A and B are shown apart, each in its own frame.
Chain A
Amino acid sequence: DTAVSQTPKYLVTQMGNDKSIKCEQNLGHDTMYWYKQDSKKFLKIMFSYNNKELIINETVPNRFSPKSPDKAHLNLHINSLELGDSAVYFCASSQGIYTGELFFGEGSRLTVL
C-alpha cells in the first residue's frame, strides 16, 4: 500500500496549457510538501502545508498554485506552462512541521513541449 502517491507519473503537454498533479498520503501525517527536481537533479522546496495551512511558499511563479482540500491531499496546479517548468515534481509528507523524516512519492515527470 503506497504511502505517498502522485498522479500522473508522466505528463507531456504543450506550452501555455494548464495542468494539475495530485498527491495523497495515507500515513496520517499533518505536513505535506511539493519539491521540484530539475535536469541537474537539484531538489528545491516549493511549498509546504500543515493541516491544510500554507507554511512555506518559496520564490515560485504565481502560475503555480497548491491546494490542500484536507491534510491527506496536496495538489499542484500550474497555469500557462513554460518550457522551464519541465522537471520532476515530488510530493512529500512528514509527521508534523519540521519533525523529521520526509516521505517522498515516486515523482511526476512533467515535459513541456
Chain B
Amino acid sequence: GENVEQHPSTLSVQEGDSAVIKCTYSDSASNYFPWYKQELGKGPQLIIDIRSNVGEKKDQRIAVTLNKTAKHFSLHITETQPEDSAVYFCAASLGTTFGDGTTLTVKP
C-alpha cells in the first residue's frame, strides 16, 4: 500500500517566520495531495490541496508545491502567527493515507 512520510515531526518558529513541512509518497498513481490542520480537541480540517496536474498552489499565506517526479510535496506557511500553532497532516493515495503529522508551534 501507499507509504507517506512527513518531516519534521515537530517544528518551532518565531512569529513572522516561515514554516515548511515536507512529505514524500511511494505510489506513483497518487494524484491528490491535501493538507489538513488539526487544532486541539478538534477533527482535522482541510487547509489546501493540490492535484497532480499542478505544480504549485497558493492561498494567502499558505502554499503547496508538488514534485511528481521526486514524489514529494511541501506545505509552506509564510508570516506565521500564533493561531497557526496546530498539528498538520499531509495525505496521499487518493487523499486517504495520512503522514504522521507535524506539530507546529509559533512563538509570539
Question: Is B65 located at the chain interface by the 8 A CB criterion?
Answer: no
Name the interface residues of B1-16: CB closer than 8 Å to any CB of A: none
Min CB–CB distance A9 → chain B (angstroms): 10
Contact with A along B5-48 (1 / 0, CB 8 A): 00000000000000000000000000010101010011111100
Verify B43–A107 contact, CB threshold 8 A: yes
Contact of A106 among B43, B97, B103 (CB under 8 A): B43
Verify B43–A105 contact, CB threshold 8 A: yes
- Contact stretch, chosen from A13-21, A69-77, A79-87, A94-102: A94-102
Complex CA distance for A12 and B12, rounded to whole angstroms: 34
Verify A100–B45 contact, CB threshold 8 A: no
Contacts known (A98-B32, A105-B43); A45 close to B49, Cβ less than 8 A: no
Verify B49–A100 contact, CB threshold 8 A: yes
Verify A43–B32 contact, CB threshold 8 A: no
**Number of residues of chain B lying within 8 A (CB) of chain A:** 21
Verify B49–A101 contact, CB threshold 8 A: yes
Verify B43–A56 contact, CB threshold 8 A: no
Q: Which of B45, B89, B94, B96 has most chain A Cβ within 10 Å? A: B96
Question: Is A104 located at the chain interface by the 8 A CB criterion?
Answer: yes
Contact of B96 among A40, A48, A104 (CB under 8 A): A48
29 A-B contacts (beta carbon < 8 Å): A4-B43, A33-B96, A41-B87, A42-B101, A43-B44, A43-B98, A44-B98, A56-B96, A90-B43, A90-B44, A92-B43, A94-B95, A98-B32, A98-B95, A98-B96, A100-B34, A100-B49, A101-B34, A101-B46, A101-B49, A102-B36, A102-B46, A102-B95, A104-B44, A105-B43, A106-B41, A106-B42, A107-B42, A107-B43
Q: Which 8 A-B pairs have the closest CB atoms?
A: A104-B43, A98-B94, A43-B98, A101-B46, A41-B101, A104-B44, A45-B96, A90-B43
